[in-house]
Amino acid sequence: MSDRLLVLVRHGQSEWNLKNLFTGWKDVDLTEKGVEEARAAGKKLKAQGLSFDVAFTSVLKRAQRTLDLLLVEMGQSGIPIHRDQALNERDYGDLVGMNKDDARKKWGDEQVLIWRRSYDVQPPGGESLKDTVARTLPYFIQEILPAVLAGKRTIVSAHGNSLRALVMVLEKLSPEGILKRELATGVPIVYRLNADSTVASKLDLAA
């Protein structure tokens, strides 16, 4: 019986998370806290006795560096890593680089909340969560899921919204349900799947 192991981890705290800025596709690095979160994630996974055969990440360095630091902690730096922009964070368009408080002053609390927390409303020049799901899901179905179902122990290091797309499918959440789902930085979620790709078990490795 194969393990059918899938671990999702949101990158550690980034420099723009710390500054409360809309980040999107802007390629910012981890903070010191983010580095520690990534290392802690590796330690938690190792403590669970887990190991991986393959990894997937976005083309953004905060997700890639989280993955690299995590794998070093596990002594697994040599595994194949696939990088694809399908796993990039949601593109916030004109909001990228703007402080969230400044955005509220410019457009109003309600409008910014709609952009951040509605499923299908796009910020100016950017993607809605629905758009992000439409970009991320085909890659999951075509590339990641077949690896898991073939018995390859798989880890995905990505972003709050691209991972939400995967969680939405795995946990059968509605658009309303996924909006309420928060993914903490640097906290691995360990899934084991059945042969039909449904979830057999889930373990959240929050501290």
Q: Which residues are catalytic?
A: 11, 89
Place of tokens 């928060």: 182
DSSP string across 121-144: PPPTTS--HHHHHHHHHHHIIIII
CB 14 within 8 A of CB 36: no
Residues making up the chain, counted from first to last: 207
Q: Which of 45, 1, 2, 4 is nearest to 200 (CA)?
A: 4
166: left (phi over 0), alpha (psi -120 to 50) or beta: alpha
Burial of 39 (0-12, 13-18, 19+ CB in 10 A): middle
Place of tokens 């991972």: 163
Type and span of the H or E element at 107: helix 100-107
